[in-house]
């Protein structure tokens, strides 16, 4: 047994969708979440910058004695996961491999899969490379949607503007008659309703929460890493303290955020 907390980080709000799913799956586990709100978005930054940010956050989490780290950011998973797995002595999980394995097993007859994500994730070819790694013959069509994260982090609520941005990025994809779309950014589920309306009733929008939690459960059983505490605790750390983090965070997390701390040494 291991009662140490699980560390999770993201560039901002998006990883809260992962945290929410894991809290439901593992009610006895404690979590430490870090949202790098001072440096969001990650998607338009260089690979080395993302690696530096990710290692820095990993150091923060390991200094808080977490038993494993979840990189709940697709851009960091695409560009920094391998570096972190080699750098840190504790297990480090990303969000791309679970989503790819889920799609390959769930939709074996689908010939084409679309992936939408940040510029950093898409340009890295992380998803198409992961499909190739597992021997998949699916045609992976990847599309960068760099404005999605900023409009989400800003809490933009205008349906007209959101729909225009979605149309700008995805109109060509909609014409290809693809039914499975991987939301390759943990921010994107907040746009799920608008995306579904745009892409049509046959579109299946796939996120990584369920697949990740199942992989993590199997690993923790094998390694006997579950907490035996009867009471769990979740702590939130952010690198900037905008009021909108508390307001928008509740939409991602499904409830009010408590125990939020600001860290200034980033």
Of the candidates 19, 73, 116, 170, the residue annotated as catalytic is 73
Instruction: Assess whether pLDDT exceeds 80 at residue 266.
Output: no
- For strands 6-10 and 31-35, give the pairing: parallel
Q: What percent of the chain has pLDDT over 70?
A: 99
- pLDDT tens digit sequence for 100-110: 999 999 999 99
**Is residue 247 left, alpha or beta, with left meaning phi > 0 and alpha meaning psi from -120 to 50?**
alpha
Of the candidates 185, 191, 225, 248, the residue annotated as catalytic is 185
Cα separations in angstroms, 80 against 57, 157, 187, 261, 264: 12, 32, 18, 25, 23
Look at residue 239 and tell me if it is in a domain.
yes
- pLDDT tens digit sequence for 3-59: 999 999 999 888 999 999 999 999 999 999 999 999 999 999 999 999 999 999 999
Look at residue 65 and tell me if it is in a domain.
yes
Residue 190's nearest CA partner among 214, 171, 207 is: 207
For residue 85, the domain's CATH number is: 3.40.50.1860
Q: 107 and 194 share a domain?
A: yes
Q: What is the pLDDT of residue 242?
A: 64
Q: Confidence band (pLDDT; 50, 70, 90) for 250?
A: confident
Q: 103 and 69 share a domain?
A: no
- Helix (H) / strand (E) containing 68: strand 68-71
Q: 202 and 219 share a domain?
A: no
- pLDDT tens digit sequence for 168-206: 999 999 999 899 999 999 999 989 999 999 999 999 999
Name the pTM for this structure: 0.92
Burial class (CB in 10 A: 0-12, 13-18, 19+), 243: exposed
Q: C-alpha angle with apex 62: 58 to 68, nearest 5 degrees?
A: 85
Cis bond before residue 41 (omega within 30° of 0) = yes
Instruction: Assess whether pLDDT exceeds 90 at residue 216.
Output: yes
* Inter-residue long-range contacts of 46-51, CB under 8 Å, 24+ positions, other chains counted: 47/79, 47/80, 47/120, 47/124, 50/75, 50/76, 50/79, 50/80, 50/120, 51/79, 51/80, 51/83
Say how far apart CA 6 and CA 212 lie, in whole Å: 14
Per the annotation, the verdict on 73 as an active-site residue is yes
Question: Structural domain of residue 62, as residue ranges?
Answer: 6-94+210-262
Q: 203 and 123 share a domain?
A: yes
Domain count, the chain: 2
Per the annotation, the verdict on 258 as an active-site residue is no
């Amino acid at each position: 047994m291991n009662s140490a907390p699980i560390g999770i980080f993201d560039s901002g709000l998006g990883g809260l969708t992962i945290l929410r799913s894991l809290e439901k799956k593992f009610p006895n586990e404690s979590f430490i979440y870090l949202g790098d709100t001072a440096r969001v978005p990650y998607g338009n930054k260089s690979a080395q910058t993302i690696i530096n940010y990710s290692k820095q956050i990993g150091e923060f989490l390991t200094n808080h004695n977490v038993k494993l780290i979840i990189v709940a950011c697709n851009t960091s998973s695409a560009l920094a996961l391998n570096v972190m797995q080699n750098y840190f002595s504790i297990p480090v999980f990303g969000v791309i491999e679970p989503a790819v394995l889920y799609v390959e097993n769930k939709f074996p007859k689908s010939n084409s899969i679309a992936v939408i994500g940040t510029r950093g994730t898409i340009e890295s070819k992380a998803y198409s490379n992961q499909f190739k790694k597992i021997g998949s013959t699916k045609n992976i069509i990847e599309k960068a949607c760099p404005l999605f994260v900023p409009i989400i982090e800003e809490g933009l609520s205008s349906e007209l503007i959101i729909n225009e941005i979605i149309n700008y990025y995805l109109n060509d994809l909609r014409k290809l008659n693809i039914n499975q779309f991987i939301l390759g950014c943990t921010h994107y589920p907040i746009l799920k309703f608008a995306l579904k309306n745009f892409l049509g009733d046959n579109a299946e929008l796939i996120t990584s929460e369920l697949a990740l939690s199942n992989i993590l459960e199997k690993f923790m059983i094998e390694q006997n890493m579950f907490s035996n505490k009867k009471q769990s605790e979740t702590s939130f750390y952010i690198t900037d303290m905008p009021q909108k983090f508390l307001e928008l965070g509740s939409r991602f997390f499904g409830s009010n955020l408590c125990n939020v701390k600001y860290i200034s040494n980033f």
